[in-house]
Amino acid sequence: MMTYGEAFRYFRHSKGLTLKQVADQMNSVSLIGQFETNQCHISIERFVHLLDQIGVTYDEFQLKRQGTTRSPIRQKIHEYRRMSSIETVIAAHGQHISAQDLFARLDKLAAENSHHYNLQLAQQVQLDSFYQTQQDRDSPNYPKGIQYYLTQVDDWGLYELNLFKECIRAFPVDVSWRLLHNVGKKVQLMADLPGYASEICNVYFSAITGFIVRHDLAKAWQTWRLAKLFCETEDDAESALRLPAMAGWITLHEGHEDKARALFNETLHYFQLLHFQKAYNHWHEIIEGQITAYHQQIPQYFVFVTPYE
């Protein structure tokens, strides 16, 4: 995995820019040179400014810096989650992986963790074991250990955000709602990082589908309003494009399919106007899948992620 300085130097060279062309009053030639050669660290403000100077988004930067590199444990969890992800389902034209294959992979993860304990792997096994054995989502045997962990950790990072998204449909509604209201306070350390706003909106959007699965449409609408307010406050235009579709998701389960389709089409129309063809295709598949699932009376829970996760 590249360091931040090495990745920045790669992008600067790829755009044919010299140190002098990138430098300004905020970042001197000397400072940038030291940053690129890992001789110093720079503040978030300076780093964001440097990305603006070379015209590279944070997502692009992280994709180049990290590539597909993950720790062995994170890679195993990623491969397990991918087996049942929406991307895998779409690629397989709506065919979900068999429960037998999923159980077998979970058993393998549990066995590995019994020999070499890892907190993240243990939490993944605990959560998915609950989903596979508990038919009653209001069971008192929900993963209280994970709830305790998320409650006690004051400063959430990306891992905690993603863990919470995975837990929303497992926790009782009041627990999920209480944690959702504290998300803003929990992620203060992430507030200045690029991509922060879209990560928080992904939590809100995941929670909306979680409350729908729990048949609490009132909480789903309350969460939608939180997402709308957040998009307006943070000026997150990209996430705001998805707000009509999320409103359509709730409206569909209220029994108003025609109105829901109009809201779905509003988001698709925005993607077309902006030539976001990949987003259009992706959301078109999701929407059609949702409508089909609705007719089959199978509300679906989605965990929304950023493209580079």
Residue 196, pLDDT score? 77
Note whether residue 52 is domain-resident: yes
């089959």: which residue's tokens?
296
Note whether residue 35 is domain-resident: yes
Range(s) of the domain holding residue 36:
4-66
Residue 271, pLDDT score? 94
Looking at the fold, whether 27 and 54 belong to one and the same domain comes out as yes
Residue 3, pLDDT score? 83
Residue 91, pLDDT score? 61
Profile the chain (309 residues) by mean pLDDT over runs of 10 residues. Answer: 86 90 93 92 84 82 66 67 61 62 72 70 81 67 89 84 89 93 79 76 94 94 95 89 97 96 97 92 90 87 66
Residue 309, pLDDT score? 39
CATH number (domain holding residue 13): 1.10.260.40
Note whether residue 104 is domain-resident: yes
Note whether residue 180 is domain-resident: no
Note whether residue 228 is domain-resident: no
Residue 193, pLDDT score? 66
Looking at the fold, whether 75 and 46 belong to one and the same domain comes out as no
CA-closest candidate to residue 234, choices 200, 207, 258 = 200
Looking at the fold, whether 49 and 91 belong to one and the same domain comes out as no
Looking at the fold, whether 56 and 76 belong to one and the same domain comes out as no
Residue 198, pLDDT score? 85
Residue 47, pLDDT score? 86
Residue 308, pLDDT score? 38
- Number of domains observed in the structure of the chain: 2
Note whether residue 49 is domain-resident: yes
Q: What DSSP string runs through the chain?
A: ---HHHHHHHHHHHTT--HHHH--SSS-HHHHHHHHTTS----HHHHHHHHHHHT--HHHHHHHHHTT---HHHHHHHHHHHTTSHHHHHHTTTPPPPHHHHHHHHHHHHHHHHHS--HHHHHHHHHHHHHHH-S-TT-TTS-HHHHHHHHH-SS--HHHHHHHHHHTTTS-HHHHHHHHHHHHHHTGGGTTSTTHHHHHHHHHHHHHHHHHHTT-HHHHHHHHHHHHHHHHHHT-HHHHTTHHHHHHHHHHHTT-HHHHHHHHHHHHHHHHHTT-HHHHHHHHHHHHHHHHHHHTT---------TT-
Residue 23, pLDDT score? 94
Q: Which amino acid is at 21?
A: Q
Looking at the fold, whether 50 and 86 belong to one and the same domain comes out as no
End residue of a domain, out of 92, 109, 133: 133
